Amino acid sequence: MLNAEQIIASNKANLNNLFGLSNQAFAGVEKLVELNLTAARAALTESAEHAQAVLAAKDPQEFINLQTSFLQPLAEKSAAYSRHIYDIASGTTAELSKAFEGKAAEGQQAVTAYIETALKNAPAGSEQAVAFFKQAVSASNTAVETVQKAVKQATDMAETNLQAAADTAVKATKTTAAKKR
């Protein structure tokens, strides 16, 4: 059975894990804030430069050309921005998932060890119940592994689809811009 020292050590380890996970989550948020500030600063600078150029346009054709040249790269910039957000989010999620999976594996091992110890001390004649219990624990572990694999596959598919959509949007914008010229 667990004693007070083991419970305190377990609680202390869980608290340290919580702080570690919180730090990983905040690191992801910091990256997003930095990306947004950089994007906002760049957009402000580009808009100011464009506004000055538009105000200096001498005829309608120059105005249209300035507008077209300003709008064309927006799709590419938007796609790049979306990719950066996705990279930050998926990287942070991967780090958190890895930590959770590690702790889940440790927890499963601890529970399995505890159950094994408890089952060794089971009274005579309970072999069938012990076997059933072991089978239930094994089925539970298999279910957890299956869910983890499904989540990984879904994440990989979403990443592939996002990349394809971003590439398609950039190509469509380039095609449209080329036709207007």
Task: Assess whether pLDDT exceeds 60 at residue 1.
Answer: no
pLDDT band at residue 39 using 50, 70 and 90 as cut-offs: very high
Retrieve residue 122's tokens. 């089971």
Position 176 scores a pLDDT of 61
CB 79 within 8 A of CB 168: no
Could you tell me the residue ranges of all domains in the chain? Answer: 4-180
Higher-scoring residue by pLDDT: 125, 25: 25
Radius of gyration of the chain (CA): 28
Position 35 scores a pLDDT of 93
Q: What's the rounded Cα separation, in Å, for the pair 133 and 166?
A: 50
Higher-scoring residue by pLDDT: 1, 35: 35
Q: What is the pTM of this model?
A: 0.59
Position 2 scores a pLDDT of 59
Q: Which residues 6+ apart lie within 8 Å of 83 measured at CB?
A: 162, 163, 166
Task: Assess whether pLDDT exceeds 90 at residue 56.
Answer: yes
User: Which tens digits make up the pLDDT trace of 2-36?
Assistant: 577 877 887 788 788 888 888 888 999 999 999 99
Per-residue b or e along 66-100, where b marks 16 or more CB atoms closer than 10 Å to that residue's CB: eeeebebeebeeebebeebbeebebebeeeebeee
Higher-scoring residue by pLDDT: 118, 84: 84
- Given 3-state DSSP classes, what are the helix, strand and coil percentages for the chain, each rounded to the nearest 5? 90, 0, 10
Task: Assess whether pLDDT exceeds 90 at residue 152.
Answer: no
